[in-house]
Amino acid sequence: MAKPTQAEETPACYAMVHEGLESVAVDEITRDLGAEVKKAERGLVVFRPRTIGPELLKLRTVEDVYLLAWGTDTLTYRASDLDQIQQWTRKTSTWKTLFRIHQLLKPPLKSRPTFHLVCQMQGKHAYRRVDAAQAMAKGLQGNFPEPWRPVRENAYLEIWLTIRGTTAVCGVRLSDRTMRHRKYKTEHLPASLRPTIAASMVRLAAAEPDQIVVDPMCGAGTILAEQIELASLRRYTGLQTWGGDIDANTLLATQTNLKKLNNSGLARWDATKLPLARHSVDRIISNPPFGIQLGNPDNLVELYEPMIREADRVLKPGGKAVYLVTEGTILRDLIRAKKWIPGKELRIRVLGQLAFLSVWRKPETPESM
Ligand SMILES: C[S@@+](CC[C@H](N)C(=O)[O-])C[C@H]1O[C@@H](n2cnc3c(N)ncnc32)[C@H](O)[C@@H]1O
C-alpha cells in the first residue's frame, strides 16, 4: 500500500484481526478462501479473493470483513492528511460497484436504504477522529444514490475509515456482529474467550477426521464450539470433541452454548485427574485460568503442574496441544520438562493482559521423550 490503491474489477477486501493473530488469519484467507494476501500488519489483512461471495463471511479467525475502497500507508500525522483522505475518498471510482456487491450479499431491502459512516483512529495525529470522519464524508458527497438516508444505528450499509498510525483503510463493511460474536454464543462468562481467538487455537491444533479433541477446562465452551463448527465446515467425519470443567454452573452455560451444535461430550471433571485413558487423546486445546483469576502465582503452579502431568498422560504420542496462558514462562518450563516439542508461539492481548498462545507436539516415540 505505498500509494492509495483503487479497487479493480474484483475489489480487494480487508479483514480486521485481533492483534497478534494475523499469521493465522493469513493462513485461513490463503488456504481456505484461496485469496491472495497483499498485506498483513497490526490487526489488518488486505487480500484479493477470487470471487466475492458469502464464503467471505465464513472466515473464522477474523473479526470483520470489508470491501476495500482505498488504502494507504503514507499518512503523515499532519493535518494535510485530511485533504488526502477527502481526495482519495472522492477519487475512488468504484463506490457504486462496492455498494452493488454489498447489496448482493445482504437480505433484500424492504425500505429506503440507510447508511452510517464510521471512523476509528489510533495514534497521535494532529487532527481528531471527527475531523477524519468529516473528510471522508466530504469525499463521499454525491456518491450515494439520492434516496439514501444517514442514520446512527442499524444502518443497512456502513462505510468505515480505520486509521492506525500512518496506515489507513476505507471501505464498505460486509460482515455484521454475528461474524465476531457467533450465533451459538448466548451464554457469556467473565473469562470467556473471543470466538476468533478460540478459532485460531483450533486452527493451530489442526485436528483431523476421526480424532479426539479435548478442552479440559472448557468454561463457556468457546473452543469446543469452534472445533465443532470447523469440523462441520470441513465435513470431517468421526471427529469427537470432549470438554469438561470443575464448576457445575459453568457447565450449564457450556451446555446452553453447545446445545444446537449437538456434538460434544461434556463432563464435570478436574483437569488434574481426568477420567480418560492413557494416550487416548489426539489434541488438547485449552485456556486455563490466568494468574489474575487465581489471585496468586503460587496457586498457578499448583494448578498447572498436575494439569500438564495429566495432559501428558492422556495425550497420544505425536499428539498436539495448544495453550493460551498469561504466565508463559511457568507453562513453558512445565511442558519442556515433559520433552514436548515447541511449535509456533503468538503473543496477543487478552482481557487487557499480554498472553501467550503456544503450540506443542508430544514426541512420537517414548525413546525420544
Ligand atoms: C479461562 S476459563 C476458560 C474459558 C473458556 N475457554 C471459554 O471460552 O469460556 C478457565 C476455566 O477453567 C476452569 N477450571 C479451573 N480449575 C479447573 C480444574 N482443576 N479442572 C477443570 N476446570 C477447571 C474454570 O472453572 C474456568 O471455567
Residue 287 pLDDT: 96
Residue 285 pLDDT: 98
Residue 214 pLDDT: 98
Q: How far is the CA of 208 from the centre of ligand 1 (A)?
A: 25
Residue keyed to cell 470432549: 242
Residue 366 pLDDT: 60
Higher pLDDT pick, 5 / 202: 202
Quick one: average pLDDT of 349-356? 92
Q: Which atom of ligand 1 is nearest to the CA of 290?
A: 1
State whether the beta carbon of 272 lies less than 6 angstroms from ligand 1: yes
Instruction: Calculate what percentage of the chain has a pLDDT beyond 70.
Output: 94
Q: Are 52 and 13 in contact (CB under 8 A)?
A: yes
Q: Which atom of ligand 1 is nearest to the CA of 253?
A: 9
Q: Which atom of ligand 1 is nearest to the CA of 286?
A: 6
Residue 94 pLDDT: 87
pLDDT tops 90 at residue 9: no
Query: 84: Cβ–Cβ under 8 A, 6 or more apart, which residues?
Result: 4, 72, 75
Nearest-angstrom CA–CA distance, 38 and 26: 10
State whether the beta carbon of 143 lies less than 6 angstroms from ligand 1: no
Pocket test for ligand 1, best of 185, 186, 187, 246 (most atoms within 8 A of CB): 246
**Residue-averaged pLDDT of the chain:** 92
Q: How far is the CA of 336 from the centre of ligand 1 (A)?
A: 23
| Segment 20-51, tens digit of pLDDT | 999 999 999 999 999 999 999 999 999 999 99
Q: Which atom of ligand 1 is nearest to the CA of 222?
A: 8
Q: Are 64 and 17 in contact (CB under 8 A)?
A: no
Lowest mean pLDDT among 6-10, 147-151, 214-218, 253-257: 6-10
Higher pLDDT pick, 20 / 369: 20
Which residue lies with its CA nearest to atom 25 of ligand 1? 247
Which residue lies with its CA nearest to atom 5 of ligand 1? 219
Residue 3 pLDDT: 46
State whether the beta carbon of 219 lies less than 6 angstroms from ligand 1: yes
Strands (E) located in the chain: 13-16, 36-41, 44-48, 64-72, 114-122, 149-150, 157-164, 167-173, 212-215, 240-245, 264-268, 281-286, 315-325, 341-350, 353-361
Quick one: average pLDDT of 307-333? 97
Residue 294 pLDDT: 58
Beta bridge partners of 116: 158
State whether the beta carbon of 191 lies less than 6 angstroms from ligand 1: yes
Residue 147 pLDDT: 78
| Segment 166-184, tens digit of pLDDT | 999 999 999 998 898 888 8
State whether the beta carbon of 267 lies less than 6 angstroms from ligand 1: no
State whether the beta carbon of 86 lies less than 6 angstroms from ligand 1: no
State whether the beta carbon of 271 lies less than 6 angstroms from ligand 1: yes
pLDDT tops 60 at residue 6: no
Quick one: average pLDDT of 243-270? 91
pLDDT tops 50 at residue 368: no
Higher pLDDT pick, 297 / 331: 331
Which residue lies with its CA nearest to atom 12 of ligand 1? 217
Quick one: average pLDDT of 309-333? 96
State whether the beta carbon of 266 lies less than 6 angstroms from ligand 1: no
pLDDT tops 70 at residue 4: no
Integer Rg of the chain from CA:
23
pLDDT tops 90 at residue 313: yes
Q: Nearest-CA neighbor of 3 among 86, 73, 85, 79?
A: 73
Quick one: average pLDDT of 317-325? 98
Nearest-angstrom CA–CA distance, 77 and 213: 48
Quick one: average pLDDT of 261-283? 93
